[in-house]
Structures are given as C-alpha cells and as structure tokens.
Structure 1
Amino acid sequence: MNRVPANSSSWKKPAKVASSSSRRIAVVGGGWAGCAAAVELAGSGHEVMLFEASRTLGGRARGVEFDGKPLDNGQHILLGAYSETLRLMHAVGIDPSAALLRLPLQMRYPDTTSGMRFITHRLPAPLHLLSGLLLAEGLTLDDKLSLARFSTTARWMGWQLNQDCTVAELLERFDQTDRLIKLMWRPLCIAALNTPPERASAKVFLAVLRDSLGARRAASDMLIPRVDLSALFPSRAAQYIDRRGGKVRLGTAVRKIDQQDKAWKIDAGAEEPPFEADGVIIAVQPDKAATLLSGLIDTSRLAGLQYEPITTCYLQYDTTVRLPTPFYALVDSSDINEWGQFVFDRGHLDPRQAGLLSVVVSASADAIENGQGFLTAAIAAQLARVLKRPDLTKPSWSKVISEKRATFSCMPALQRPPIRTGLPGLALAGDYVEGEYPATLESAIRSGVQAARSVVDPHSD
C-alpha cells in the first residue's frame, strides 16, 4: 500500500513554469513522475513529447486487467497532505471527492483482543489525535501514554533528527511499549517506507508521521481510490497533454540521449531520426536511468539504490461477502505464515467489485519465497481466522501481483540522486530522488513538477 506523503509545509508551493517563450521538452518515462512533469510543462505552454516504453501509462501505479477483472498493479492509499497530487488531479479534470474515498486517519484491526481500534475524529488538530487516543480500544494506559509521549516529544523536536538511525532504534529511544510497536509503529513503518523498522530510516519515518499524526486534520485523512490507478491520473494526464499540443508515444523505448551544442537528441528507434529538444526529463526506474545517463553524469547514486518488493493478493468471494469497513489492518507473523498486513474490501470502493478483497504485503521478500500459490492459500487462511469466516479459505478466484522493485529500500542516511543533474536542461524525476520522504505517489508527482521547473528555469528552487 502506498505509503505516506509529503507535507505542504515542507515543500515550497511550485510556481508556474515561465511561459514567456515556449520550449520543446522530452519526458522519458510515463509513470506518475513523468506524467506530472509533462502536465506541468504542457499547462505552462511548452511543447511536450512523452515517451513510454510500455503500452500503458502509470508505471508501478497503474490499472491492470486479469480474466476480465479490472485491478490495480498494487493497492494504494493517499493522504489529504498530497497537495500536489490533488492539484494536478484537478488540473487534468479529476474530481478528487468523487474519485477518492476520504476516511479519518485510523489504525483499525478486526478485533481489539489481538489488535486495536484507533480512529481520529473530525476535530481541529491536535484534538483529533487526542480524542482518538483517549477513545482507542485495545490499548492499555501504558500504551496510550507511550503514544502520547512519542507524539509530544517528536513535535517538540520538530519531527526531525540531527543524526539518522533506524526506526527500531528510535522507538527504543522513545521507550515505546511492545504492543504499540506491534500494532502501530511497525505496520506504519512498513506501509509508509516499505522497509522493516530494523533497517528503515528514522528521519524519513518522522517526516511521514509529521504529515499524519502531526498534521492538520484534513491533511491526515486517508484517501482510497474508487477508480483504478490509471483513471486516477495517468489516463487523464495523456488527454490533457494532447489537448495542449503535446504528444504521448506509447510502446516507444528511448535507447540513448545525447547533447549536441545546446540541443538534446533522443534516440527512440533506428527507423526515425532522433527527436530534438531543448530539455530532457528522465523519469524511469533508477537502473534504466543509470543506463541512459552513463557517460553524461555520475550515476553512482542511481546504481547504488537497493529495492524492496510489494505484493498484493486479490481474492474473489461471493458478492455477499463484505467487511464492516473499507479496510482493516492485520497482524502479520511469518512464524505462522500469516503475511497479510492490510485487507481492503473493494466492494466499498466500487459496487461492481463486490466480494473482492485485496490484501497488501509490503516488504514482501520472505512472503513470496514459496511461490504465489502458497502465499494465496496462507493469506486466505489468515483472513478466515482473523475475520472468523471459515468460508474465506476457498476463494472462487485469486491473483497475486508482486512488484519485485516496488520501491527503494529506505535506509538511514541514504544518499539519493538529486533532481538537478548539473547539466543545463537535464533533470531526473521519480519517487527515488532526493527528498525527505519515502517512495510515494506524492513524492513522484512533486519530483516531476520540480524537474519541469528546473529544465526551463535554471534558477528555480
């Protein structure tokens, strides 16, 4: 599930790209970062050519179809703090209130014996958090005091660390209870950073918490897509680019980029001459970016990134199967082959998907070791037990989607590549570039917007 966001208070509001003179810009890669860059440029009057190697925009966050069933390449959650994502959705004609189900920030398990029920309320911050904490079920007084102490101390620190450490070390330093770590901090860390607490960056985790536990109430709201991820932004982005005179070329893999004089040349196939542009934004996966940029810039940071997988297991049941809430948190335990961390009832999001449950396993390297069939059976058994529904052991249909390189491994003091490459007119975009936050849709969008600004205005922030 994806991951928690950037905060509008930490990112400067991107200014409009200067449009006094239209420039020709190539964007290589049609994921959310590339689409964002192309939309920002096209909306500012620049001529855009967007190259995407596959036949579908969206990258690792796109709609897919299996056996006639429309699914997502992975279940995602957005936050109200996704200011740039929501801005660009509006720009391309998406109504977020219709496309997204808005829920208060919560960590809710099927029962409070083995889990907890923490739901914030529609009150101004920080009262929404305080009321949720006071009324939380499944937590002892020590647990609640532990959470209050963490939140108070982190707020006093400005949600920042002078020296990075692991999340596990941070929780020990803040004297958090075992139960709170198990039910709150560990699942939040894995969901947000897609990296286990034992090797996840505490500095990045605190930035995430600042925008959820420490944010204004509306910014902390959870937003669950009601439409598939392609329809949520990439498809409308393509239409927007086309309406403004740009072009989107699907199924076109860029082989090489080169600079001659002040122009950039993009080689997208031997059967046609290179595309010439005033600037280029590279918005592909880090390993592909390293290949394209080899010999032009230092690619060591791109090559040095490590990765974590995310797996989503879809299980179809009778259309009468329905959860009381759109999603639950689950306690995962590899010791008993219970891998699911969150379960979503897709019928809450779209009535046409009644009876379809999606289960998310972040940082899923161990979970997928024994194959998809084993994982499907294990997750179905886990749901049957925790939901007290023996019939859930036998879904009528299932599909496992696993992204082996879903995100970079968000480790302490990680040196991520910058957006600016040092070469005029050449920029990087992607959820892996420098920033305070982990790999999120908002990180991807913001990187695309900043890359767009940098290639047309070398003096932009």
Structure 2
Amino acid sequence: MLNVAVVGGGWSGCAAAVELVRRGAAVTLFEAARTLGGRARRIDVAGRTLDNGQHILLGAYASSLKLMRTVGIDRGRAVLSVPLQMRYPPGGMQFVAPRLPAPLHLAFALLGAKGLDREDKLAMARFSTAARWMGWSLDNDCPVAELLERFDQTPRLVDLMWRPLCLAALNTPLESASAKVFLAVLRDSLGARRQASDMLLPRHDLSALFPDAAAQWLQQRGAIVRLGAKVSQLQENNGRWLLDGEAFDKVVLAASPVATAALLAPLPAAAPLVEQLAAFTYEPITTCYLQYGAGVRLPQPFFALEDAPATGHWGQFVFDRGQLDPAQAGLLAVVVSASGEAAALPQQELAQAIAAQVAQAFGRPELGSPAWLKVVTEKRATYACTAGLVRPANATPLDGLVLAGDYTAGEYPATLEMAVRSGLAAAALLH
C-alpha cells in the first residue's frame, strides 16, 4: 500500500487526503495548527466561535459539493442557498436573479434591477453578451479595469457591480486583477445555468463545513490526522521522502506558498519552483464582527455595501450571521477585501468606522453602537491574482512530490473550489 504524507490541513490538503484514501493509499495528514481549515477555518474569540473570514460558495462548485457529500455533509443543513444577487441596503441597487431557467434568470434580473440607469443596463447586457460570445475567456490576459474599459462599462456599473465582484472573488483591485480569471468566475455565476449560479452561504463555521468531517472520515478509514504537527524538514532518501526523519513513499505539499517554498528551499532540483513561489505577492482580507442584541436582524442574509475609504467607509459586504445560524443571533460580519489600507488602522478605530458605516447605510443609528466587536485580519488571505500571473502546476520536478493549494495552476482564483480541485488533482498524480 502506498504510504503518503499530506502536509497541510486546509481545504486542499483535506481534499487530497480524502481522495488518496479513496484510491487505496495509507495517508498521514500533518497540520501545524490545532484546527483544520487553513485560511478558511474556525477561530475562538472571547468564548465565541467565529471564522477567520466569510466565504460564499456557488452552486457551480461541483468538486467541493461532491466532496462534502462524500464525507457526510448534508448540503441542505450546511448552506443556505439564495439566488444570484447583488443587493445594497434599501434605497440602493437591487439586482436579483429570479428562479427561472438560464439565461432568462439573468435577463429578468437585469430588466428588473433597481438603482441602475438605462445606460448601465445596456452596458451590462453588452458586456455579458460579448463575454458569452467569447466563451468567457481571453487569449491574452489583461487587468480587469482594461477589459471593462474595452466594453465601455459605465462608472456606476463598475462601482456597484464589477468592482465589488472582482474584490470578492479575486481579492485583488480592478487595476491589476486578472481579467482571464475574472471571466471564469463570471462564467460560473452570471453565465451559468440557474442552479449553478446560486450563492451558497455557510451555516456552519468553515472548519465544520468540510475539514472536520473530512478528518473524521479519514480516521474511520485508518488514516492518521496529526494536529499541531509542523513539518520542519523535507529530505529525499533513496526514492523515499523523509519528513523530520519519518519515511513516506510520496508527499503532497498542501501548505501555503510561503511554507512550501521554505520546505523546498534546501532541495537543488526545486530551485526554479522556489523562485516562482517567491515572486508571489499577497492581499489581506479583514472581517469585522459586530455583536448586537439577539433581536437585531437585517432584511436579508447579506448585502453589498458602498465602500469609500476616504470617508471611513471600509466595508464591502455585510452578513447577518443570525439568519444562517440561530446561535449567532444579532451578529453581523462585515468583510473588507484587499484590505491593506484598512488593516493598517487601529482595530478599535476601524471597527467603530465600520459600525458607523453600517448604521448609515441602513438608516438605523442603533447599529453604530454594537455591544461587542472584533476585527480579524488574515494577512496573507490570498495571493494577488494579477494579470499574466503564472501559477505552478501540481506536478513538480521532484519524483513523488506534488503541490496542492488554491495558488496552483487553474482557471479559478484562490477560492475553496480551487483549493479542492487542486487537492484532487494532486492526489490523482500520485496514484
């Protein structure tokens, strides 16, 4: 039986481990932290169970949803499914796809959109039609801002639709974000069949959404899951691999690009790969949690927010966690993507500014005074998904060692689906 080490217990590492066991391998999963999930995980703060960030899945995330079913996750209980939408607080833009067959759902969403002028709607229709004609792909990559300018998108549509979608999906500003990757995201949201375009909001914390169940599934089948187990040294020895002296036939490196580069640095054959990983830059994501009384509730589970950093409006999306999990009644989570400037502020100052923004956006002054607040910043939440970025393949020049992670080559940005796809692809290479 093939003996495989998986280094990293994020979504990609868990996916690789499950697939390897399913294919008959003996697996040991190493995770340096005490909680599985990597950059999409549960955290405990002041007696509260929170996430290190807020994620939305799509109905098109076939690999993630299938793997969740494999390890026993009930989709109906795990996520809240809502139609594709971009809603702002009452009085702002409302774009909601009705539950009609594609592409009627998108056409009716555009016709019924509120807060957009006729010129904005025509621009969006023109862009969507052209993108569909192009197969939602580009031969030559360019920044998203350049693509939108090429198709004469109006400033209002860019501000209310394209920029927030780009930040949410790629965590990279329009001016540098990859148009090729952005189009792939739009293909599986705006351009997808109705059910595939649904937005899936996690009801559980992110570790419980998949990694915890994956660990239990693995252990029931004889795999070993080691938490708090950081791998410090990787050596090749007579066709096998030594991880801190422990021998394995094969290795899946499913750690972050930074940790992966550190493990590979002593290996001469990995030098080009290490150099490639060193060229990556990163963008943070900040989540501000605001706790109110249990009776506080927003009209919908989540809304987009108009951010304006110059006036202290940092929030881009707000989620009513109580509508997803009754145990979190009165808890709002406000997300700031590509949050370098916001994260540089003192946490209390940033949280108070975001609370004031939410209060103003909804016309509810009481939201400016939460009973409790917490700012969580994941400093290297994703790599900067820039135009023309060359991402490494799962395969490496090292025999029996493969990479897994949302940063590897693929059509998606650093999403849960990309992490899972990469883990599955890495496992397939080894078995």
TM range (shorter): over 0.9
- Matching residue of 1:52: 31
User: What is the one-letter code of the residue matched to 1:258?
Assistant: Q
Deviation at 1:111, TM superposition (A): 2.7
Three-state SS of the structure 2 residue aligned to 1:88 is helix
- TM-score scaled by length of structure 1: 0.92
Q: Determine if the alignment matches structure 1 residue 391 to structure 2 residue 370.
A: no
Deviation at 1:344, TM superposition (A): 0.4
- Matching residue of 2:321: 346
Which is worse superposed, 139-148 or 294-303? 294-303
User: What is the one-letter code of the residue matched to 2:365?
Assistant: P
Q: Trace 1:68-87 onto structure 2 (pairs within 5 A).
A: 68-87=47-66
Equivalent-residue separation in structure 2 for 1:302 and 1:381 (angstroms): 40
User: What is the one-letter code of the residue matched to 1:129?
Assistant: L
User: What is the one-letter code of the residue matched to 1:250?
Assistant: L
Which is worse superposed, 291-300 or 201-210? 291-300
Contact map agreement 1:26 1:281 (CA 8 A) in 2: yes
Name segments (4+ residues, structure 1) moved above 2 Å. none
- Matching residue of 2:232: 255
Q: Trace 1:93-242 onto structure 2 (pairs within 5 A).
A: 93-112=72-91, 115-242=92-219
User: What is the one-letter code of the residue matched to 1:55?
Assistant: R
Deviation string 1:178-228 (CA, Å, 9 cap, x unpaired) is: 110010000000000000101111111111101101111111100000011
Contact map agreement 1:265 1:276 (CA 8 A) in 2: yes
List runs of 5+ in structure 2 lacking aligned partners: none
Equivalent-residue separation in structure 2 for 1:404 and 1:347 (angstroms): 26
Deviation string 1:106-156 (CA, Å, 9 cap, x unpaired) is: 0000133xx310000111111110011111111111111111000000000
User: What is the one-letter code of the residue matched to 2:84?
Assistant: L
Q: Determine if the alignment matches structure 1 residue 30 to structure 2 residue 9.
A: yes
Equivalent-residue separation in structure 1 for 2:218 and 2:179 (angstroms): 39
- Matching residue of 1:402: 377
Three-state SS of the structure 2 residue aligned to 1:400 is strand
Equivalent-residue separation in structure 2 for 1:370 and 1:277 (angstroms): 46
Three-state SS of the structure 2 residue aligned to 1:129 is helix
Equivalent-residue separation in structure 2 for 1:228 and 1:255 (angstroms): 29
Deviation at 1:335, TM superposition (A): 1.2
Of residues 400, 407, 413 in structure 2, which corresponds to 1:438? Answer: 413
- Matching residue of 1:320: 295
Equivalent-residue separation in structure 2 for 1:82 and 1:93 (angstroms): 17
User: What is the one-letter code of the residue matched to 1:371?
Assistant: P
Of residues 258, 275, 278 in structure 1, which corresponds to 2:249? Answer: 278
- TM-score scaled by length of structure 2: 0.98
User: What is the one-letter code of the residue matched to 2:53?
Assistant: G
Deviation at 1:422, TM superposition (A): 2.3
Deviation at 1:424, TM superposition (A): 2.3
Q: Determine if the alignment matches structure 1 residue 453 to structure 2 residue 393.
A: no
Three-state SS of the structure 1 residue aligned to 2:399 is coil
Equivalent-residue separation in structure 1 for 2:257 and 2:45 (angstroms): 28
Equivalent-residue separation in structure 1 for 2:90 and 2:204 (angstroms): 29
Equivalent-residue separation in structure 2 for 1:228 and 1:111 (angstroms): 28
Q: CA RMSD in A?
A: 0.9
Contact map agreement 1:43 1:244 (CA 8 A) in 2: no
List runs of 5+ in structure 1 lacking aligned partners: 1-21, 268-273, 457-461
User: What is the one-letter code of the residue matched to 2:134?
Assistant: M
Contact map agreement 1:310 1:362 (CA 8 A) in 2: yes
- Matching residue of 1:63: 42
Equivalent-residue separation in structure 1 for 2:131 and 2:258 (angstroms): 36
Equivalent-residue separation in structure 2 for 1:324 and 1:393 (angstroms): 17
Q: Trace 1:260-271 onto structure 2 (pairs within 5 A).
A: 260-267=237-244
Equivalent-residue separation in structure 1 for 2:259 and 2:361 (angstroms): 42
Deviation at 1:70, TM superposition (A): 1.1
Deviation string 1:278-306 (CA, Å, 9 cap, x unpaired) is: 11000111111001112241211111100
Contact map agreement 1:64 1:71 (CA 8 A) in 2: yes
| Count of paired positions | 427
Deviation at 1:68, TM superposition (A): 1.2
User: What is the one-letter code of the residue matched to 2:18?
Assistant: V
Deviation string 1:55-81 (CA, Å, 9 cap, x unpaired) is: 111111111111111111111111101
Of residues 286, 292, 297 in structure 1, which corresponds to 2:263? Answer: 292
Equivalent-residue separation in structure 2 for 1:111 and 1:361 (angstroms): 21
Q: Trace 1:343-422 onto structure 2 (pairs within 5 A).
A: 343-422=318-397
Deviation at 1:370, TM superposition (A): 1.7
Three-state SS of the structure 2 residue aligned to 1:401 is strand
Equivalent-residue separation in structure 2 for 1:411 and 1:350 (angstroms): 35
